[in-house]
Structure 1
Amino acid sequence: MTRAILLATTALLTAAPAAWAANGSADGGADGGGGGRLALTRVLLSTGGVGYFEYEATVSGDADLSLEVRRDQVDDVLKSIVVYDDKGGVGTIGLPGAEPLDTAFRELPFSAGDLHSPAALLSAMRGAEVTAGGSSQLTGRLMSVTEETARLPGGDNATVTRHRVTLMTADGMRQLVLEEADTLRFTNPAVQAQIDKALAAVADNARRERRRLTVQSHAPKDGQAGGERRVRVGYVAEMPLWKATYRLSLGADGAPAGTGRPPDGRGALQGWAVLENLSGEDWRGVDLTVVSGNPVTLRQALYTPYFVERPEVPVEVLGRVLPSADEGTVTLDAARPAMRAESSRPAPAPAMAAPAPMAERMAEPMAKTATAPYGSALGTPAVAAVDSAEAGTAEGAQVLFHYPQPVTVPNGGTLMMPIAARAMPVERVALYQPATAARHPLAALRLRNDGDTALPPGLLTFYDRASGTAATAAAGNTAAGNTAAGNTAYVGDARMATLPAGDSRLLSFAVDQSVTVDREEKPDRRLSRATIADGVLTLSVIDRQTTIYTVAGAPDGDRNLVIEHPRRAGWTLAEAAGGGTDGKPDATAIAYRLPLAVPAGKTVTLTATLERPRQERIVLTDLSADQIAARAAATELPAEVRQALTAMAGLRAAVAEKERRIAELERDRTDRIADQDRLRENLKALPAGSDLHKRTLAKMAEAENRLDAIARDLATARGEAEAARQTLRERVKALAI
């Protein structure tokens, strides 16, 4: 079946040139000097969103080769055009300006809008000499064109607009009605030539969507100007992305019942490239290649004129000068040297460097990419891997698919080109992705690329040609499951990322509702080591996150389940064990893939444990006694560490007691000072020598004695507290466990 499809496609592509040529598509080439013709011969489409187009011509002697491109492609053409001349030399490449119509009218006495009507043109050409023909022959210079409204005969009030032209003739001013004149021509041939040139520019601008490039090719200088040579012109322009799409068929007559796959575990893969011709011209018998890669593609507005902004300097106008009258001179006692102002001379401008001579010949043509010969067993196109490298630049791997026969695609047409057709190893698995489906795994295929060429990304359509049991049941497709033996059934679609040679991909195409998965999360924390040094308690802790997967198997058959367990930054997989594990786990960028064999109708479990080591640093001198005591009560700490922390908590409590005594004395002193201030204020208001005055003085003396005692107690308490702190610091510093 695969061979028949590809052979039919090849026949279609071979017959397409004749069919499309019968539709009368435009010629893609252009005549050049020396009898040459540029014709499109090669197209290369890249997944970078661009296409390379190569034209060829056979010329002799000097030749001017023409090439038309779309207006929106000119920037890309100017950026990338390259000319290869086998024997001759490459000259200039010319094309019209970005705005040719504005350029054409820039030096004319009228604008493009003046060509919209004869009256507007005559008004713009005021002063030019014209000759009018008709009932009266007049020759004179244009003075004015006046619009007037005239009533038509018939009495229905109908009017018509006319233009009255006034001429200055040899007999004076004469008038005529423009609409009644048979002819009106400019007598000066130069003026008539200007109008003809302007009209030609307007006509040419109607084709503004395309620009014509003229490529000069010079004859070789060895005297063989009469010989023929080949000239190639290529450029890169924006093109739609070509898309890869695949079909994978499993199962065949004679396959084991219930397996849904061939006896050798291989599936038939067909790959196609879907591409569009939106280049603006037909592709007729071109050499077609598609490239899959990720090249850097840039664009720049090279066809847009840019001007440098310059500051405007005002014109210096010299003011009127009124010299004063000379009143004579005086004789000086001693001669003094006259002051002279050296004239400022501008520095001579540096000489411009002579332009480097243009190379007489460009580099030799780039060798065409070699491809494998066409004609494999399945009739597939040749496929070759290309490593693109250039001296001094970074390498970038690309995969090239070259169709071995000429291809014809009309402008705007779409083409499907076969890029792969071969048997590949396939294994059916169930893929559990918690973020995609929380309760059921996905029915999937593990496709391994055992060829020599990578496959670009694309969608894959999955067909089952078996008896309709395993594959369709796994996909939950009951209608397909009733398909008669040997018939082809559609099962689902899958997304396939780039598949390098020797690698494999899991392709999910449906939800396997026959298998149910439950998850249970169990966070944990374990102390692995505790040390004390320089007053710092360092705890080495291992955080553990354990997930238990409980899987209820499908009643219709065994499943090879792959569980994608999420990866977490800083965590490692410490354990992946279960009663039905089979094989070693691997990992993607975001998940671990844990294999699990699930027998039919059975329930199995898998335990996955992630661990993260970390350290906690605790400065013991910054903790209070209660905080240290709480740390000492932790049973996970070693006994030696707990004992040291308990002793340290006692020392810290002693320091805290001394500090509390200091705080009490400072509060008592503050209260005594406030009481003394109150007594002083009262003393000022009491009569001297009175009993109340004497009692107040006695109280002030008593308060002063108490303040002296508090000061002595406070000094003692501060000394004791500092001694306790010193003892704590020394014990902490000396502690090493």
Structure 2
Amino acid sequence: MDHRVSTAAAPAADAPESVREGTAAGALALRRIVLSTGGVGYFEHEARVRGDAELRLEVRLDQVDDVLKSIVVYDDRGAAGSVTLPGREPLRDLFRELPFDEGALESEAALLNALRGAEVRTSGPGGVVAGRIVAVTAAEAALPGGGSERRHRLALMSDGALKQVVLEELAGVELAEARLEEQVGAALRGLSRQRERNRRELVVHTASAAGEDERVVRVAYVVEVPLWKTTYRLTLPEAPHGKTGALAGWAVVENQSGSDWRDVDFTLVSGNPVTFRQALYELYYVPRPEVPVDVADRVLPRLDEGASGLTARTARRVHLAEARDAAPVASAPASFAAGAFAAGAPEAEESTTQVVFHFPAPISLASGHTALLPIVGREIPAERLWLYQPETSARSPLAAVRLRNDGGESLPPGAITVYERSERGEVAHAGDARLAPLPPGESRIVSFAVDRKVRIDREERSEEALSRARIEGGVLEIVRTARRVTVYTIAGAAREPRVVLIEHPRLDGWELAAPREGVETTSDRYRIRREVAAGETARLEVALERPVSHTIALADLSAEQIGVYLSSREIPEALRAAFARLAELRAAAQDRQRALAGLESTLADLRGEQERVRENLKVVPAGSALATRYLEALSAQEDRIAATSAKLPAAREAVAAAERALADYVRGLSLAP
């Protein structure tokens, strides 16, 4: 990486001519750059002008869309006019008004065939021949030594006669019509412009509003640039009980603009602005439906009575130079942890959505080069921790440090190279880490190495227990508590103490039941703090709980289900007594139901037997002994049916009474937890 960064205010002697000319009156020179982590850069050019002026500015073709979207002209004492640039002019538009297409320019023969009927003058071995083009045809011509070659014959209508000339033998073909000559020239010029694909020149027109005094005009725009990155160096004391660390932050900046930056006012912005691209330099046509010509009916459109108007909004002019001059200048620290700033410390300022680093001295950076610019340098609160992330390292914690931003500005995200400094002053590389955006007053944990001196084991088990039971309105609600327990066994380092943070997953619907202290939460983790002395083996139990609720209608419980609840050792005595009484009433109701069912079954059997006897009686001779026997059986069965039927009302009433007693008990039962 080439670090060609200069902060001197005077132009260098070997500065390119384009840079030195940028300071001349009436010429735009790059004066200010603001690079954003949104992947865009604000470029502000400045010129001193008198009266009306045209300022010219070259931009890359791939930046034209962004320039058209964002260009702004600041003219404090004048009036900004238009901004013009050559159009993209697609080939289809270039040839739209011409009597030939792009293919006609591929060869002389193709062009002359496309210009059939045009008047031309040819000069060659036979002298000058003038006439109108009929056609150009290709033919194979024999060569004296054998073989052949392709030649083209141009047929012309001249003075009423058809004449032919060989195109390859002519010295020239001249178009006689000036208009046609201009059209061919325009096509050729358009093709030449199409090859100029890399640059476009913008012309900014400004008008004098107050006399002829010299004034400053600024032209600015926002275009896509390489993302600037942040890298940090964090130096920690080797002893784990240290409270601070030396933090140095650097910005990696690339100049890929195609031109040198010379003595520009330079600012870096860290934030997440909304940025997008829009192809404003392309030509778009709205497709329209084709409507046939109406030659029959005539219609009279309804009279338009008008529509509500839109109120025009007048844009307020922003005086960027005044705002910049009025901005407060923060005092910069004299040095950084990694050494003094040769370029001067940037002035950091926190805005609503981003942090701004403004460099007090001008910056110079050649095109295609990279610079490493210091932006942060101070002592920062740093607590040594050992972070256990099972998905990262299953058996060992990560050596980490909790950084707290006690400054007034956010720290941008970036990579951190971590060093450890011994008591003798020796520095060693400890590892690399990543820092997320760190606003003022907040803290972040960054991990940089695996600590093999500490071993962590895990054991998991699941439990479930009755936590609450209640009865209300004939409904039993039982709430059981599901419990997930993880036991962490931490075998500490033999010679040094550790402060271990266990990251335990958070689960939807589950709450942390234990431990209650030393716990912090992230979006999807619990972080549980456990101090482990040197040589100690510590045990940490983490429990998550979730209630599981069941509701049951008591009237629907069978005797077997009631028996299951009675056999449980978890239910409280009040609920056990209620179930015992419920079991008695359910048993009584079932006994009455069985007695009724027995009577109904007996009655059904008697009636079935009676029907069988009647069928047999139909086929035996009347007055026979068997007939007499059947009649006696029918009489006895009728007596038994009558006796059984007489018992049914009482049995049914007994069932209803038992069921009423059960329902009344259930309805009146209330048991609070």
Residues 38-57 of structure 1: pairs in structure 2 closer than 5 A: 38-57=28-47
Partner of residue 386, structure 2? 430
Change (3 A) 1:407 1:705: farther
Q: 1:152 aligns with which of 126, 143, 154?
A: 143
What corresponds to 1:329 in structure 2?
Answer: none
Q: How does 1:159-558 map to 2 (within 5 A)?
A: 159-170=148-159, 172-220=161-209, 222=210, 224=211, 226-251=212-237, 259=239, 265-316=243-294, 345-350=300-305, 362-365=317-320, 367-368=323-324, 371-374=329-332, 376-378=334-336, 379=341, 381-388=345-352, 397-466=353-422, 486-558=425-497
C-alpha deviation, 1:203, in angstroms: 0.8
Kept in 2: contact 1:90–1:360 (CA 8 A):
no
Q: Secondary structure at the match of 1:644?
A: helix
Match of 2:563 among 620, 629, 640: 629
241-250 vs 613-622, which moves further:
613-622
Aligned-pair identity in percent equals 45
Kindly indicate whether the alpha-carbon contact (under 8 Å) linking 1:285 and 1:407 is maintained by their aligned counterparts in 2.
Answer: yes
2:514 maps to 1:575: yes
Q: How many residues align?
A: 659
Deviates more, 1:692-701 or 1:131-140: 692-701
Q: Distance in 2 between matches of 1:710 and 1:19?
A: 127
Q: Distance in 1 between matches of 2:13 and 2:597?
A: 104
| 1:335 matched residue in structure 2 | none
Counterpart of 1:74 in structure 2 is 64
SS state of the match for residue 28, structure 2? strand
Tell me how far 1:605 sits from its aligned partner: 2.1
Alpha-carbon separation, structure 1, partners of 2:582 and 2:20: 94
**Contact 2:350–2:409 (8 Å) recurs in 1:** no
| One-letter amino acid of the structure 2 residue matched with residue 250 of structure 1 | L
Residues 484-523 of structure 1: CA distance to partner in whole angstroms, max 9, x if unpaired?
Answer: x544322211122112223222221111111112223344
**TM-aligned CA deviation for residue 198 of structure 1:** 1.4
Q: Which moved more, 1:139-148 or 1:619-628?
A: 619-628
C-alpha separation in 1, matches of 2:576 and 2:653: 30
The one-letter amino acid of 2:581's match is A
Compared with structure 1, are the counterparts of its residues 160 and 110 closer, same or farther at alpha carbon in structure 2 (3 Å cutoff)?
same
Deviation at 1:663, TM superposition (A): 5.7
Provide the rounded CA distance (Å) in 1 between the counterparts of 2:203 and 2:597: 99
Which shifted more, 596-605 or 199-208?
A: 596-605
The corresponding residue for 2:580 is 646
1:89-111 CA-to-partner distances (Å, cap 9, x unmatched) read: 22333344444433221101112
Equivalent residue of 1:600, what SS? Answer: coil
Shift of 1:434: 2.4
Local SS of the residue matching 2:196: coil
Distance of 2:229 and 2:160 partners within structure 1: 79
Cα distance in structure 2, aligned partners of 1:698 and 1:170: 147
- Could you tell which deviates more after superposition, 307-316 or 642-651? 307-316
What's the CA shift for 1:529?
Answer: 3.9
Task: Give 3-state SS (helix, strand or coil) of 1:92's partner.
Answer: strand
Going from structure 1 to structure 2, the CA distance change for 1:736 and 1:318 (only over 3 Å counts) comes to closer
The letter for the 1-side match of 2:27 is R
Conserved 8 A contact 2:6-2:365: no
Tell me the residue number matched to 2:134. 143
Cα distance change, pair 170–707 in 1 and its aligned pair in 2 (3 A): farther
Gaps in structure 2 of 5+ consecutive residues: none
Aligned to 1:602: 536
Cα deviation digits, residues 133-160 of structure 1 (max 9, x gap): 23311121111111122233323x2x32
**Any idea what the Cα deviations from partners look like across 1:140-198, whole Å, max 9, x if unmatched?**
1111111122233323x2x3222211111225222222222112111222211112211
TM normalised by structure 1 equals 0.79
Q: Once the 2 structures are TM-superposed, how far is the Cα of residue 665 of structure 1 from its aligned partner?
A: 6.3
Deviation at 1:246, TM superposition (A): 1.2
Change (3 A) 1:452 1:360: closer
Q: What CA distance in whole angstroms lies between the structure 2 residues aligned with 1:185 and 1:594? A: 92
Shift in CA distance, 305/689, structure 1 to aligned 2, threshold 3 Å: farther
Which amino acid in structure 1 is aligned with residue 583 of structure 2? A
TM-aligned CA distance change 1:126 to 1:56, over 3 Å:
same
Deviations along 1:457-510, one digit per CA (max 9) or x if unpaired, are 12111122326xxxxxxxxxxxxxxxxx54432221112211222322222111
For residue 119 of structure 1, report the CA deviation from its aligned partner.
Answer: 1.4
Listed one character per residue, the Cα deviations across residues 185-242 of structure 1 (whole Å, up to 9, x for unaligned) are 112222111122111111111123444433332221x4x1x22222223233333332
Aligned-pair CA distance for 1:363: 4.2
Is residue 246–residue 272 contact of structure 1 (8 Å, CA) maintained in 2? yes
Counterpart residue identity of residue 59, structure 2: V
Q: TM-score, normalised by structure 2?
A: 0.85
Q: Structure 2 CA distance, aligned partners of 1:430 and 1:229?
A: 62
Cα gap change, 1:668 to 1:526, in 2 (>3 Å) = same
Task: Decide which of 93, 100, 103 is 1:113's aligned counterpart.
Answer: 103
Q: 2: distance between equivalents of 1:31 and 1:701?
A: 136
Distance (whole Å) between structure 2 residues aligned to residue 109 and residue 679 of structure 1: 117
Task: Decide whether the 8 Å contact of 2:7 with 2:263 is kept in 1.
Answer: no
1:420 CA drift (Å) = 1.1
Q: What letter is aligned with 2:94?
A: A
8 Å Cα contact 2:492-2:532 kept in structure 1: yes
Contact 2:9 2:361 survives alignment (8 Å): no
User: What amino acid is aligned across from residue 432 of structure 1 in structure 2?
Assistant: Y
Query: Aligned with 1:731: secondary structure?
Result: helix
| Contact 2:350-2:408 at 8 Å conserved across structures | no
User: Contact conserved, 1:85 with 1:362, CA < 8 A, in 2?
Assistant: no
**C-alpha RMSD of the superposition:** 3.9
How far residue 63 of structure 1 moved from its aligned partner, in angstroms, is 2.8
Is the 8 Å Cα contact of residues 460 and 485 (structure 2) preserved in structure 1? yes
CA distance, structure 2, for counterparts of residue 536 and residue 704 of structure 1: 48
| C-alpha distance in structure 2 between counterparts of 1:617 and 1:187, whole Å | 103
Kept after mapping to 2: 8 A contact 1:131/1:140: yes
Query: Structure 1 pair 88/507, CA: closer, same or farther in 2 (3 Å)?
Result: same
